[in-house]
Chains A and B, each alone.
Chain A
Amino acid sequence: MPSRPPVRPPGTRGRGAWRGYVYVLPAFLVYVAFAVLPALHTAYLSLFEWDGVTLGEWVGLGNYQEILQDSVLRRSVFNALVLVVFFSFVPIALGLAMTGLLARYRRPGMGAYRFLFMLPQVIPLVAVGVTWRWLYGDDGLVNQAFRTVGLDGVTRAWLGDFDAALVAVGLVGTWVLSGLCMMLFLSGVQKVDPSLYEAARLDGAGPVREFVSVTLPHLRGELAVAMTVTTVAALASFDIVYVTTNGGPGEQTTVPGLLVYRLAFSEGKVGLAAALAVVLGCLILAIVYLINRLSRTET
Chain B
Amino acid sequence: MIEIKGISKSFENKDVLTNIDLNLERGKVNMIIGKSGAGKSVLLKCLVGLFDIDSGHILYDGRPFSDMGYQKKKEIRKEIGMLFQGSALFDSKTVLENVMFPLTIFSEKSQEEIKERALFCLRRVKIEEQANNLFPAEISGGMKKRVAIARAIALQPRYLFCDEPNSGLDPQTSIVIDNLIKEITLEFDITTVVISHDMNSVMEISDFISFIHQGQKWWEGSRDDILTSENKEVVDFVYASNFMKAVRESFKKK
A and B bound?
A: no
